Amino acid sequence: MPEIRVKIASPVGLHARPASQFVKAAAQHSGSVFIGRPGTEPVDARSMLSVLSLAIGHGEEVVLRTEGEGADAALRELSRLLVHDGDA
């Protein structure tokens, strides 16, 4: 179960449009995808309400974890979305 810590680059954090783009990308993977703050229980990254409930702001560090087939590729793709300014 690979995981990575990344800082959110989007100026608005992981809210509205960036969150929507991230959730849609996470939903395209056949395995499980989780996101959360370090040291807290992660949420299902394919649930818009769960992701928004984290209220993650710009510059905050999150832990992204993937499981199942293609977990490593999913982790790379999703982490890139989070670290690119303005695109989630």
Q: Which residue has the tokens 């991230």?
A: 22
Q: What angle do CA 76, 78, 84 make, to 5 degrees?
A: 100
Q: Is residue 88 part of a domain?
A: no
Q: Give a yes or no: residue 72 inside a domain.
A: yes
Residue 20's H or E segment, with its range, is helix 16-27
Mean pLDDT taken over the chain? 94
Residue 27 lies in a domain: yes
On the question of pLDDT at 75 being above 80, the answer is yes
H helices present in 1-88, as ranges: 16-27, 48-53, 71-83
10 occurs within a structural domain: yes
Q: Is the pLDDT of residue 85 over 80?
A: no
- CATH number of residue 35's parent domain: 3.30.1340.10
Looking at the chain, the whole-number percentage of residues with pLDDT higher than 90 is: 93
Active site residues: 15
The tally of domains found in the chain comes to 1
Which residues share a beta bridge with 62? 6
* Residue range(s) defining the domain that contains residue 77: 3-83
Determine, yes or no, domain membership for 54.
yes
Structure tokens at 24: 């849609």
> Using one digit for the tens of pLDDT, what is the confidence trace for 18-58?
999 999 999 999 999 999 999 999 999 999 999 999 999 99
Question: Does 59 fall in a domain?
Answer: yes
